[in-house]
Structure 1
Amino acid sequence: MENSSLPFSFNLTMFVNIGHYRFAAFIFCLLLYSFIVCANLLMIVVISQYRVLHQPMYMFIALLSANALYGSTGFFPRFLMDLLSDVHLISRLACFTQIYVIYTYGSNELTILSIMAYDRYVAVCYPLHYHKKMTSKTVAVLSVLAWIFPALSLSGLILMSARLPLCGNEIEKVFCANWNVVKLSCVSTDLNNAVGMFLTITTVFFPLFYVLYSYLRILIVCWSRSAVFKVKVLHSCLPHIVSFVIYSIAGFCDVALSRFNLEDINPFVAVVLSLEFVVVPPVLNPLVYGLKMPDIRRHILGLFTCNKKMNTNPLCD
């Protein structure tokens, strides 16, 4: 066995040398991060401010925006520093902290989307029992579980990875990822792989299959109903379906990239694909919900109008 150690820092090797263009890339990514923060904060403020939006569906959208802020904050500040740096070393503690934040962000996202699918399933399939099933207490419990379960389950996996003796410190990514660290191990990682597979099934595939099951049941209910009912359900469910598809594609690209030999892929393409998971959902989710859901769109416009015409806009009351 090679000499093993616990490296003090890791080297992120996927950064492409773009010369002076890195300043333009820095400005673009800074603006992107600013948009993510502003757009998702706006969603949270609008939903919290207007009482008519204090409904389960909108509360879960606010939770999705809060998770976007959490995940992007775990990625962008460090990434922006690396864009301007010639050396891309990250301390061991910072690396595993970033792994924890990004992995819990991804798991939270899917858990919240599955809860939103359950909400739409109850609303469409059991409309007369909706308010009885989706009480404020139920919403609070589901929201807490959406954060607590991934936080606790992933803590054990990451602690196991942190204890591995490593024979290298190069991570083929622009941010720290658990699988890339495990690949550096000098000892057998069978236990890590088994725990990782179990957590993948419980935190990824179970919610994934439940979302698909929920929308399949909704589709079956809509099949025999009127055209007006179908259009109403489509308007209600379409933003959630779009968010789910966006997240699934971004997650698939990240997982697929970790299994490929990066030497066979164009470096720029590899970087773009690796960024999708932490960039695309936080950017598109507020656009999808803000533009596609009339109640949110109306109150966003009302919020800006209130700042100009405080006494003439009825939404300001």
Structure 2
Amino acid sequence: MYKTEFHRMTNVTAIPFFDLTGLSHMRQKLRVVLFSVTLLCYCVILLVNGVLIVTIIREKKLHKPMYFFLCNLCINSLYGTAAFYPKFLYDLLSNNHMISYVGCLLQVFVIYSYAATDFSILAVMAYDRYVAICRPLEYHSIMTKCRVVMLVAFSRLVPLFSQGTVLIMTSRLKLCGSYIHKLYCENWAILKLSCNSITTNNIVGFIFILFYFGHDIFIIVSYVQVIKLAFRSKDGKKKFTQTCVPHLLCLLNVSVALLFDLMYARYGTESMAQSVRNFMAIQFLMIPPLLNPIIYGLKLTNVRTNIFKYFTRKRML
């Protein structure tokens, strides 16, 4: 018995491909419709994020910390969605929903480092708003170019390190299956295929989840201080409405989307309709990248004005 079990474990072959089964029950006609909607959604994501990035880079008036952080947020949206949409669009028109082992791990790394980076950027933006409203006379001495570069580096490098750690731990597991019941590769789905214990992976995963949701607590505490001071004067109220409200809306947007995904990934039930499960799995790759730049583009007067000015100038030419 022991010999048989040892033989089975030591002969688990390396899995070259994973089979994504999220679309297996969808009819071909529905796939064509979904392809059109998804392509439109991705094009809008590219457009709205691209317009904000170009506007901030081109306009010297927007070369300020808050707008650099916003530009970083938009770049991160393009980074994360690039790991999902092209592959998903291909799968919608194909009967083969396979993805290579390396490609699957790369997709996990990019998508979840994107999600973690979103939280980091929003935390950095909250710190920037706290300094701007609560310590306005010290703002320029605190938010120096060096400090801005350090904050941007923090928002990018720490998520890469954390997700790199998770990826290395996942890559060392022996797998006893190749079917992932989602539209894309997801770390928890891979862990469920493991032949060995995943306790260590779970502990590390929960530590990183708590760390990034701890960013929410930091942001809330920062905004408690901001609100106390901002509502003491008309100028403070105006600044809060123009720069802080869109940030809070984006935070709510990202937090709710990711919370749904994490709860579904770990505690979701198979009795739930496949279409509902698919939507819950991809909403954090669809709603935040789509709405965040629109929220900022509409609410931030300087951004909105410069966007209109840029397109008006193009028409005149």
Give how far 1:21 is off: 2.2
- Tell me what 2:224 maps to: 216
- Tell me what 2:178 maps to: 169
How far apart, in 1, do the equivalents of 2:30 and 2:21 lie?
A: 18
- Tell me what 1:139 maps to: 148
Quick one: which of 92, 97, 101 aligns to 1:88?
Answer: 97
Where does the alignment leave 5 or more consecutive residues of structure 2 unmatched? none
Alignment of 1:11-30 (within 5 A): 11-15=19-23, 16-30=25-39
- Tell me what 1:233 maps to: 240
- Tell me what 2:277 maps to: 270
How far apart, in 1, do the equivalents of 2:145 and 2:175 lie?
A: 48
Q: TM-score of the superposition, structure 2-length normalised?
A: 0.93
CA RMSD after TM alignment: 1.4
Identical positions, percent: 36
Q: Matched residue of 1:107: which SS?
A: helix
How far apart, in 2, do the equivalents of 1:5 and 1:165 lie?
A: 8
Quick one: which of 143, 152, 159 aligns to 1:150?
Answer: 159
- Tell me what 1:294 maps to: 301
- Tell me what 1:314 maps to: none
Cα deviation 1:233-263 (Å, max 9, x = unaligned): 1222011000000001100110111123442
- Tell me what 2:109 maps to: 100
How far apart, in 2, do the equivalents of 1:109 and 1:31 lie?
A: 23
How far apart, in 1, do the equivalents of 2:91 and 2:160 lie?
A: 27
Partner AA of 2:123 in structure 1: S
- Tell me what 1:197 maps to: 206
Question: Is the contact made by 2:230 and 2:237 (CA closer than 8 Å) also made in structure 1?
Answer: yes
Q: Which moved more, 1:3-12 or 1:22-31?
A: 3-12
Where does the alignment leave 5 or more consecutive residues of structure 1 unmatched? 311-317
How far apart, in 2, do the equivalents of 1:59 and 1:261 lie?
A: 38
Quick one: which of 9, 13, 19 aligns to 1:5?
Answer: 13
Q: TM-score of the superposition, structure 1-length normalised?
A: 0.93
Q: Matched residue of 2:90: which SS?
A: helix
How far apart, in 2, do the equivalents of 1:259 and 1:195 lie?
A: 15
Give how far 1:38 is off: 1.6
Q: Relative to 1, partners in 2 of residues 1:53 and 1:79: Cα closer, same or farther, differing over 3 Å?
A: same
Give how far 1:5 is off: 3.3
Q: Matched residue of 2:196: which SS?
A: coil
Count residues with an aligned counterpart: 308
Give how far 1:228 is off: 4.6
How far apart, in 1, do the equivalents of 2:138 and 2:34 lie?
A: 51
